[in-house]
Amino acid sequence: MIASANHPSALPPRAGLGLKPEHCEIILATRPDVGFFEVHAENYMGDGGAPHRTLEAITALYPLSLHGVGLSIGAAHGLDKAHLKRLRSLIDRYRPQSFSEHLAWSTHETGFLNDLLPLPYTQETLARVIAHVEETQQFLGRQLLLENPSTYVLFADSTIDEVDFLTAIAERTGCGLLLDVNNVMVSAVNHRLDPIIYIDRFPVCCVGEIHLAGYDETIDSAGDRLLIDAHGTAVKNDVLELYQHALVRSGPVPTLIEWDNDVPDFGTLQAEAIRADRMLATAARQRNASQAA
């Protein structure tokens, strides 16, 4: 039986942070007011040791979101059963309140590619991803949140719009969605699309978590803007504006600040979470006022 609810996530509608080893000591010592912490599943697939002792201490104090980066949901071959078993063991151990993965592929035959690679949006790909999501949810015994990608190329043979593709997966599998607002901005700028229209068409009723991050910017060979999903800076203002627009549609949703490269001191990270918490509180007030009117 797959664990699910009317809302795809049981996390509080607060802002959370990615848990970094260099910050664990200060977190345990000061117990800062943070909504939740998120870790990458693959970093905790060993059986024991200091990482697990620390994570056990953190999860005794805070809700946990588990984010996978290596399942390769879109791979042409079957899912890695050993990887699924390790995921199940980790989920059984920590009982995270949210588990998510990427709409991407990163494996080929027996090889693993250290990247999240894009997919062509075709009926064949859709059927494969649906089968893999269903298999994952059945094996783990719980709902999966599937994240929209950041992309830098479009496939000539794609026949399905990305939002329609994600909507179909959610409708046919019962999975939830993770709306990465930074990914929306990166892909929209790179492909000359309107990020507002993307958000307006996104099935927010399925969204169990939102991600925010910073991007890098350069110029491509044609002299146009090229955004890179770098996770190495504070969230940019245009992403925050898009996030605010998303919250108008969705209402408050648990929101993670992703900062995985050039990681700053904990105070800088917490300031990002505080800013997102304020936006969530505003969204809650607006939603309550609208319902009362």
Confidence bin at 279 (pLDDT 50/70/90): very high
Confidence of residue 11 (pLDDT cuts 50, 70, 90): confident
Q: Which pTM value belongs to this model? A: 0.94
Q: Where are the beta strands (DSSP E) in 96-213?
A: 98-102, 105-108, 111-117, 145-147, 176-180, 207-213
Residue 10 is predicted with a pLDDT of 63
Using alpha carbons, select from 284, 290, 288 the residue that is nearest to residue 15.
284
pLDDT in tens, 117-174: 899 999 999 999 999 999 999 999 999 999 999 999 999 999 999 999 999 999 999 9
| pLDDT > 70? residue 9 | no
- In the prediction, which pLDDT does 12 show? 77
* pLDDT (tens digit per residue) in 183-230: 999 999 999 999 999 999 999 999 999 999 999 999 988 899 999 999
Residue ranges of domains in the chain, CATH in brackets: 15-292 (3.20.20.150)
| Of 122, 107, 109, 200, the residue nearest 161 (C-alpha) | 122
> What average pLDDT is seen over the chain?
93
Position 291 scores a pLDDT of: 85
pLDDT band with cut points at 50, 70 and 90 for residue 108: low
Tell how far CA 133 is from the center of its chain.
15
In which element (H, E) is residue 131 found?
A: helix 123-140
Give dist(CA 31, CA 20) in Å, integer: 15
Q: By C-alpha distance, which of 238, 237, 269, 230 is closest to 24?
A: 269
Tokens of 238: 């245009």
Q: What is the pLDDT of residues 67-77, one digit of tens each?
A: 999 999 998 88
